[in-house]
Structure 1
Amino acid sequence: MDMKYALDFEKPLRGLIKQLDALHQLSEENHIDVSNEISAIEAKIEQTKRSIYSNLSSWQRVQLARHPLRPYSLDYVNSIFEGFREMHGDRQFRDDKSILGGTAFLDGKAVMIIAQQKGRNTKENILRNFGMPNPEGYRKALRLMKLAEKFGLPIITWVDTPGAYPGVGSEERHVAEAIAVNIREMSQMEVPIVTVVVGEGGSGGALGIAVGDRVLILENAYYSVISPESCSAILWKDRSQASKAASALRLGDQALLKRLGVVDDVIEEPMGGAQNSPEEAANSVGKAVRSHLAELVKLTKDQLLEKRYARYRTLGELNDGKVIDINEAAS
């Protein structure tokens, strides 16, 4: 675990890890046997990890979903697939770097990859627009999905965005219409679609590439109608209430998402988050993608469309009309 990027709730681990490093250094430099002390500290670290990560709040899961070292979509693509070849442009305006797309091979079989991508540093984040797609990104995604449909390639989409870009230019080029068209067209695609939410799954920005036959989510990712900051700004006129909004939205409550049918599978992460063992996380994601895709490719086109239609017609639960107090929900 890299304590340089420790989150606030992970701070208790920082002191213990410093003690462990100091003991190792003492042992090496002075040839002193401190194995008992090292074992005790290691046991304390494991106990503290279990205590912290088994009782995460909604806001803490959001923080993990945004961790700067967390594997991004392209990390999973490069780990799981072979021969990824990126394709560019929507053939109307420009190439949106916040959405990647192209062909790849999974166990020797061709698939189409559509992925939202963030950046690791300031330069990359500007290039990727902080993972917030413009309308041309969704139109590029749709162009590639139609290409996949033409050649009978399964589609695997990777969601990691706080939401579609809300800027003036994006609105002028009709971002809402681009997302709506994608939702309509994906609902009628005659090839299997598997969606994986690997980090943030914010609002229509996520849904624009997420109308899948199977929707998978990582343990510490979130999938929501709105980001906690935006929700806070609307409800309390104050973005600083984001943690309260996250609780009200029950972000990171994967059991709820699965019960409501929003997601089909929750992928377990390494202790403390995918950033602590990216290879282990990629293996888990790859196994889940292969399992669900293997089931979907057995279906005929009619069966695929029928099941997809049924999935989205029965999504969620109806409220009986009772007004929910948002402050009670957040408590």
Structure 2
Amino acid sequence: MNPLGWPGYEEQLGRARARSGGVESVTWQRSAHAVEITFDFRFLGGSVGTATGALIEEAFTGARAARLPVVSRIATGGSRMQEGMLSLRQLQRVARLCAAHREAGLPHVSVLGDPTTGGLWASLGAGADFVIGVAGAQVGFAGSRVRPADDPAYTAEGQFAAGTVDLVVPAADVGATVAEVVWLLTHGDAVPAEVPRALGAQELPADGWSAVRRARSADRPRAGAYLDDYFDSRMPINGDRAGGVDAGVLCGVGRRGDRAIAFAAQTGTATTPAGFRTAARLVRLASRFALPVLTLVDTPGAANDAAAERAGVGAAIAELFAAVAEARVPITTLVVGEGGSGGALALSSPEHTWITPDAYFSVIAPELAAAILKRDDVLRLADDLRLRPQDLVELGVVRGIAGRPGSSRSTQAP
């Protein structure tokens, strides 16, 4: 218990045990639904030493043997100085345990209490499948004594804004939120998601430009309306885990009856690299937990400004294409608005894509096609692109038009 022979360490441990009533800074317990690891900040600031690492390993090993999720309730200042590098190396131990749990297809949910700093944030906390921040908690790699004071970046809310935390909730709501997340991540069935019903116009457009105008109409139902109509409730997944958030891409897992279905939905804006990476993260998470995926396509295309290029938009789109191609679960896609070029195609199922009557799907927007081809007849060009829902069914690009009986070519789809 004192591998470095640190002066007075035994006495410090004794006082910590008397103050907390526990033998170490963590305890764990098993229920019918999960194994829960709980940190006690009263025990040397919730710091992690070799004995702490052993208890965390015991918890993860037991959870893996019982095929149970792990919930980590964290409140820690980081590694324990009194054990030096032996303490720091527990981070590698924790990372290995998280990786083994993930490889076994079992969920890990972390709850970031006040504070969650140091290496445990960068391993047990940020490495979880779903990360919940307690409102107002200090969260960051740097602890309060070694960082600038009063910077909102070092809070649960700041980490949410940076895309490293999925949800921030008041302390009183943590228990119910954790229970819902665990339920959603453990009720996958890998059965294809149903195609949502069309909420907007039911009649088909007469020509290509009419299809484009209707898809761009401010009155057309957007992704939020489709998600509200489709799911009984839903839990968001936020951010790309690399400092980016795209508010125009909604990702998460929802309840539909007694099913859990993952979703990624564009909301009509140009999709940024962070949006593509968040969607790719969602698809990979769904594959691990056998969650069918529903994607809603609605974007004029990928963001193409200089900021998007510097943030790696091409690589981000490639990452999403790969995640969809490698998915081990069925993906159902509904185009609900603009289907603009590769930025829309990246979120689309190669085999199970449908479209609403007030949407279109095109290799490029007609105006941009006109500029590239040096044509001044945009209206005619919209017809030439064959981008109407009925054109896309005939071409075999989509399987059918939502809400229109007899419009499906599903028997001919690959």
Query: Does residue 65 of the first structure (1) align with residue 223 of the second (2)?
Result: no
Q: Is the Cα–Cα contact under 8 Å of residues 283 and 323 in structure 2 kept in the other structure?
A: no
Q: C-alpha distance in 2, partners of 1:140/1:68?
A: 26
Query: Does residue 242 of the first structure (1) align with residue 384 of the second (2)?
Result: no
1:256 alignment counterpart: 391
> Going by fraction, where is strand more abundant, 1 or 2?
2
1:198 alignment counterpart: 336
1:146 alignment counterpart: 284
Q: Greater Rg, structure 1 or structure 2?
A: 2
Query: Does residue 177 of the first structure (1) align with residue 315 of the second (2)?
Result: yes
Q: C-alpha distance in 2, partners of 1:54/1:173?
A: 39
Q: Is the Cα–Cα contact under 8 Å of residues 204 and 357 in structure 2 kept in the other structure?
A: no
Following TM superposition, by how much is the alpha carbon of 1:175 offset from its aligned partner in structure 2, in angstroms? Answer: 1.0
1:265 to 397, 400, 410: 400
1:132 alignment counterpart: 270
The alignment's TM-score, normalised by the length of structure 2, stands at 0.47
Structure number with greater CO (CA < 8 Å, separation at least 6) is: 1
Give the root-mean-square deviation of aligned CA atoms: 2.4
Following TM superposition, by how much is the alpha carbon of 1:145 offset from its aligned partner in structure 2, in angstroms? Answer: 1.1
Query: Does residue 229 of the first structure (1) align with residue 229 of the second (2)?
Result: no
Percent identical pairs in the alignment equals: 37
1:166-221 CA deviation, whole Å, 9 max, x = no partner?
10010112212211221122112000100000011010110121134410101221
Query: Does residue 76 of the first structure (1) align with residue 226 of the second (2)?
Result: yes
2:236 alignment counterpart: 86
Aligned residue for 1:200, secondary structure, equals strand
CA 1:235 to 1:190, structure 2 compared with 1: closer, same or farther past 3 Å? same
Matched AA of 2:290: G
Q: How does 1:1-331 map to 2 (within 5 A)?
A: 56-118=206-268, 131-236=269-374, 241-252=377-388, 254-268=389-403, 311=414
Matched AA of 2:239: G
Matched AA of 2:259: K
CA 1:132 to 1:54, structure 2 compared with 1: closer, same or farther past 3 Å? closer
Q: Is the Cα–Cα contact under 8 Å of residues 204 and 390 in structure 2 kept in the other structure?
A: no
Matched AA of 1:264: R
Following TM superposition, by how much is the alpha carbon of 1:237 offset from its aligned partner in structure 2, in angstroms? Answer: 6.1
Matched AA of 1:75: A
Q: C-alpha distance in 1, partners of 2:337/2:375?
A: 26
Q: C-alpha distance in 1, partners of 2:378/2:227?
A: 31
Q: Is the Cα–Cα contact under 8 Å of residues 164 and 205 in structure 1 kept in the other structure?
A: yes
Q: C-alpha distance in 2, partners of 1:176/1:54?
A: 34
Q: C-alpha distance in 1, partners of 2:380/2:338?
A: 18
Q: Mean Cα displacement is larger for which, 213-222 or 137-146?
A: 213-222
Q: Is the Cα–Cα contact under 8 Å of residues 386 and 392 in structure 2 kept in the other structure?
A: no
Q: C-alpha distance in 2, partners of 1:226/1:91?
A: 30
CA 1:132 to 1:55, structure 2 compared with 1: closer, same or farther past 3 Å? closer
Q: C-alpha distance in 1, partners of 2:330/2:378?
A: 36
Q: C-alpha distance in 1, partners of 2:330/2:367?
A: 34
> Going by fraction, where is helix more abundant, 1 or 2?
1
1:2-42 CA deviation, whole Å, 9 max, x = no partner?
xxxxxxxxxxxxxxxxxxxxxxxxxxxxxxxxxxxxxxxxx
Q: Is the Cα–Cα contact under 8 Å of residues 205 and 357 in structure 2 kept in the other structure?
A: no
The alignment's TM-score, normalised by the length of structure 1, stands at 0.59
Matched AA of 1:161: T
CA 1:248 to 1:152, structure 2 compared with 1: closer, same or farther past 3 Å? same
Matched AA of 1:261: G
Q: Is the Cα–Cα contact under 8 Å of residues 246 and 272 in structure 2 kept in the other structure?
A: yes
The gaps in structure 1 that reach 5 residues or longer are 1-52, 119-130, 270-283, 293-306, 312-331
Matched AA of 1:208: A
